[in-house]
């Protein structure tokens, strides 16, 4: 496996990590709470992408298993008509490696999809709780900047102690 091939196979992971760090950077660097939550969203989506990347199978279809479509077995077993292209070679390789195809068709892995599907909905639910807290903070402190809130809190403590 040379450098170019390694890059093709791992490009997604590299971009996912950069996106993850972008999200983390937004969360740490900004004091604005709504922007922080957006950063958390970017971070969260990058985790989803990491999972989905791992579940992809070259030449695969979405994991909706019908009874074997007519001719699919034949076409898949031959790796398509034009055996020369790299994609077809890869597909044929997939077939040769093991009993990976189901009914003669390759499917992508459904498990990451299941995990992430529910993860997205749970993500929006938690986002809503976060935004609700922000709205309450704004009502109490009249600001959604971290520094303002901390300053107001500090002043209130000082006043209480005095």
Partner 1 sequence: MNADFITPLDAFTIIDLILMLMLLIVGLAIVRLNDIFAIVMLAGVYSLVSALWFVSLDAVDVAFTEAAVGAGISTVLMLGAMLLSSRTALPAKPVRKWASFFIVLATGAALMYAVTDMPSFGDPLSAPNAYVGLEYLKRSLPDTEIPNVVSSVLASYRGYDTLGETSVILTAGLGVMLILGMGGKINGQLKKKAIDYDNADAQAHHTVLRVVSKMMIPLIVLYGFYVQFHGDFGPGGGFQAGVIIASAVILYALIFGVDAAKAAVPPLVVRIGAALGVLIYGGTGIAGLILGSNYLDYNVLDPHSAPHGQELGIMSIEIGVLITVCSVMLVIFYGFTSRQPDITDKDW
**Cβ 83 to partner 1 shortest distance, Å:** 13
Please give the Cα distance from 78 to 13 (Å, whole number): 31
**Cβ 156 to partner 1 shortest distance, Å:** 20
The DSSP secondary structure of 77-124, one letter per residue, reads HTT-S-TTSHHHHHHHHHHHHSS--BTTB-B--HHHHHHHHHHHHHHH
Q: Which residue has the tokens 């199978």?
A: 57
Q: Which is nearer to partner 1, 28 or 160 (CB)?
A: 28
Site string for partner 1, 67-106 (x = CB under 8 A): x-----------------xxx-xx--xx--xx-x-x---x
Angle between helices 146-161 and 110-141 (to 10 degrees): 50
**Cβ 157 to partner 1 shortest distance, Å:** 23
CB 30 within 8 A of CB 39: yes
Q: Which is nearer to partner 1, 98 or 160 (CB)?
A: 98
**Cβ 36 to partner 1 shortest distance, Å:** 9
The one among 136, 150, 155, 157 contacting partner 1 by CB under 8 A:
136
């Amino acid at each position: 496996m040379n450098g170019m091939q390694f890059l093709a196979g791992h490009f997604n992971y590299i971009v996912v990590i950069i996106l993850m760090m972008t999200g983390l950077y937004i969360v740490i660097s900004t004091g604005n709470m709504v922007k922080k939550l957006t950063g958390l969203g970017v971070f969260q989506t990058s985790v989803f992408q990491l999972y989905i990347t791992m579940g992809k199978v070259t030449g695969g279809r979405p994991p909706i298993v019908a009874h074997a479509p007519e001719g699919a077995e034949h076409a898949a077993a031959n790796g398509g008509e034009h055996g020369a292209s790299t994609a077809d070679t890869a597909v044929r390789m997939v077939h040769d490696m093991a009993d990976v195809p189901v009914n003669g068709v390759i499917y992508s892995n459904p498990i990451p999809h299941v995990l992430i599907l529910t993860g997205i909905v749970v993500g929006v639910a938690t986002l809503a709780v976060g935004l609700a807290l922000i709205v309450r903070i704004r009502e109490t402190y009249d600001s959604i900047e971290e520094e303002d809130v901390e300053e107001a809190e500090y002043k209130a403590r000082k006043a209480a102690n005095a």
